[in-house]
Amino acid sequence: MEEVVEALTTISILLGGLAFFLYGMNIMTNGLERMAGGKLETILKKASSNKVKGMALGCGVTAVIQSSSATTVMIVGLVGSGIMSLPQTIGMLMGTNIGTTITPWITALPALGNGANEGLEWLNLLKPSFFTPIIAVIGVILIMFFSKKNRKNKDIGTICLGFAVLMQGMELMSGSVGFLTEQEEAFKSVIDFFQTPYIGIWLGLIIATLFTTIIQSSSASVGVLQALVIGGGLIPFKVAIPIILGFNIGTCITAVISSLGANRNAKRVAVTHLAIKLVAVALCFIPFAIIGLFDHEGHIFGWNVSVWSIAIFHTLFNVVTTAILLPFSKLFEKLAYVLVKDKKEEKDSVAFIDPILIHQSPSVALSECSNLTLEMCKLSNQTVVTAIDNLYSYNSKLAQEILDSEQLIDKYEDSLGTYLVQISSRALSDPDSRKISKLLHTIGDLERISDHAVSILKVAEELKNKEIVFSAEATKELSIIAAAIKEILSITEYAFLENDLEVAKKVEPLEQVIDKLIATTKSNHIVRLRSGTCTIELGFVLSDLLNNYARISDHCSNIAVAVIETARNSFGTHEYLNMVKSSHDEEFEKDFNMYDRKYSTKA
């Protein structure tokens, strides 16, 4: 009974250590990704058809965030969103295989100093049992006392704690397996079974693949194997090699899961990643299996592995196979298109954010939301300009383009609003949180601007259908307002796209000038109505048009204020506008007078 209790306790500690390891890896990866923010997306998008450059980028990003799964998910999401193409990613996928080899070297640290000779006891200072508590204390201090003033301190503290938890999990696993390895006869029987020529090596490969598929982390799987070795387990290379190869296959499950429900381009990335791993494993496993058939006594692969030899083999396997397979990138691309064929009905006019990015890489998803909002801004403004140009020379083709653009902009708003709310629930850096506020304040205004473009189109249709025209005076006044509207759209778009505060500050003075022009035009219409040079029917049409112009300029003002307030880390829109209008700001007055002269209705 005592042995049963001890065995259950050991298994409990082993599982707890694995849980600590996975959780530590997760929070460390999230912290590293938050610190990198949108830079990760920028780095990944620099990948081109140059496969060597792509491989270097994939390796670098994976090494930084310590997770090949996270990098692969980002790539799947970026391709699924139409931001990157499959050829750009193949080299990067191979690079992630190299980048992930750093983690086993870190998890091998607990073995430092074991059995050190006299005079080398200082190696114990490099063991996690010595420095991990110090790192944990630093992390707690940063989070508790320095995170309020600077979010970056909190991210660094989170990374420190994640690393400490990860290493503590490694210590728990290596300590718990000591009991298992003490059962010498049973342990030896298991090892001998895995060395059988036909069944054992295949079973090792399959079990390792399934294990990694379940926990979705090859780094954690390798860590478990290393913990078993640290705990005293004597495992020959003949057993370890198939297991390590199985770990490398199992890690593909994350990309496969992330592509489920995504478009076919995203599925091709997952298929390519799996194909690369399978071919790489075949290159190593087939010769190993053939040699193993004729090496019954274990003369070639019979010596026992260490934590360092596990890290070395894992690294050499990924580096060498990547070097061999990189020249065949085109073949993997063709294979992906053969296995995942196109379907015409899946083609869409716009590619939106892959939802997997939101959950796995919120900072990257936010950067893509920002890019989509920029596209939405350009499209919305162009829709208004087209509607104004169509006002007096109605063109049915242009009218349909305006309606199609407005529907597309509606899709942008719906999708972006959903994405941004979901991203806001994730842990983000302060700059990313401010960016979300800016985008949420902006997308509604952009959508309303496109609605007013459709309203202007209806005015054009009414003028055409009723065959009515404005008077020469009204036409002149409207052309001046239209020019001002086009300029306010232009400077608003520039301020938003370039995040230019100085240009953003020019929007409100022009908005005030447009309000003045509209008020003047309405007054002049009343005068013309009394003199009989205009009609009530034209007055209704004129009023609709002017109201749309006024609302467009108001929305431009809101967008400009969002740009300004993001920089000030405040969103008191009314407070800012009241301050500008009441403080007699010299710069505001100067810009107002400049625009007033430029768009004067006086002859």
Per-residue model confidence (pLDDT) at position 119: 47
Side-chain half-sphere exposure of 13, counting CA atoms within 13 A: 19
Asked if residue 320 has pLDDT above 90, the reply is: yes
Asked if residue 487 has pLDDT above 90, the reply is: yes
Per-residue model confidence (pLDDT) at position 297: 55
Mean pLDDT of 175-186: 57
- List Cβ<8 Å contacts ≥24 apart for 178-182: 178/231, 178/232, 179/6, 179/7, 179/10, 180/10, 180/228, 180/231, 180/233, 181/228, 181/231, 181/232, 181/233, 181/234, 182/232
Per-residue model confidence (pLDDT) at position 481: 93
- Report helix angle 507-531 to 586-598, nearest 10: 40
What is 361-598's CATH superfamily? Answer: Phosphate transport system protein phou homolog 2; domain 2 (1.20.58.220)
More confident residue, 597 or 431: 597
Least confident of 123-132, 168-177, 462-471, 593-602: 123-132
Asked if residue 14 has pLDDT above 90, the reply is: no
527 burial via Cβ count (<10 Å: 0-12, 13-18, 19+) = exposed
Amino acid occupying residue 218: S
Mean pLDDT of 58-84: 76
Give the sign of the dihedral formed by CA 91, CA 97, CA 98, CA 102: positive
Mean pLDDT of 442-460: 93
**Extents of the domains making up the chain:** 2-112+125-345, 361-598
Asked if residue 319 has pLDDT above 60, the reply is: yes
Look at residues 96, 75, 102, 95 and name the one whose alpha carbon lies nearest to residue 326: 95
309 burial via Cβ count (<10 Å: 0-12, 13-18, 19+) = middle
Please give the mean pLDDT across all residues of the chain. 79
Query: pLDDT grade, residue 347 (50/70/90)?
Result: very low
Query: pLDDT grade, residue 348 (50/70/90)?
Result: very low
Mean pLDDT of 520-530: 83
Least confident of 20-29, 324-333, 580-589: 580-589
Amino acid occupying residue 505: K
Contact 262, 276 (CB under 8 A): no
What contacts 234, CB < 8 A, 6 or more positions away?
181, 191, 304
Contact 476, 599 (CB under 8 A): no
Asked if residue 380 has pLDDT above 90, the reply is: yes
Highest mean pLDDT among 28-42, 135-149, 287-301, 510-524: 510-524
Contact 365, 419 (CB under 8 A): yes
Contact 515, 567 (CB under 8 A): no
More confident residue, 586 or 334: 334
Least confident of 16-30, 175-189, 397-411, 517-531: 175-189
Amino acid occupying residue 316: L
Contact 564, 505 (CB under 8 A): yes
Whole-angstrom distance, CA of residue 375 vs CA of residue 357:
19
Per-residue model confidence (pLDDT) at position 100: 84
Per-residue model confidence (pLDDT) at position 381: 93
More confident residue, 511 or 371: 511
Mean pLDDT of 537-550: 87
Least confident of 105-109, 184-188, 455-459, 533-537: 184-188
Asked if residue 293 has pLDDT above 70, the reply is: no
The 10 Å Cβ neighbour count of residue 297 is 7
Asked if residue 74 has pLDDT above 80, the reply is: no
Whole-angstrom distance, CA of residue 594 vs CA of residue 273:
59
Whole-angstrom distance, CA of residue 402 vs CA of residue 453:
7
| Distance (Å) of CA 95 to CA 137, 276, 326, 509 | 34, 11, 10, 52
- Tokens 């196979």 belong to 321
Buried (b) or exposed (e) across 532-561, using 16+ Cβ within 10 A?
eebeeebbebbeebbebbbbbbbbbbbbbb
Asked if residue 170 has pLDDT above 50, the reply is: yes
Contact 483, 384 (CB under 8 A): no
* Two tokens, residue 275: 């194909």
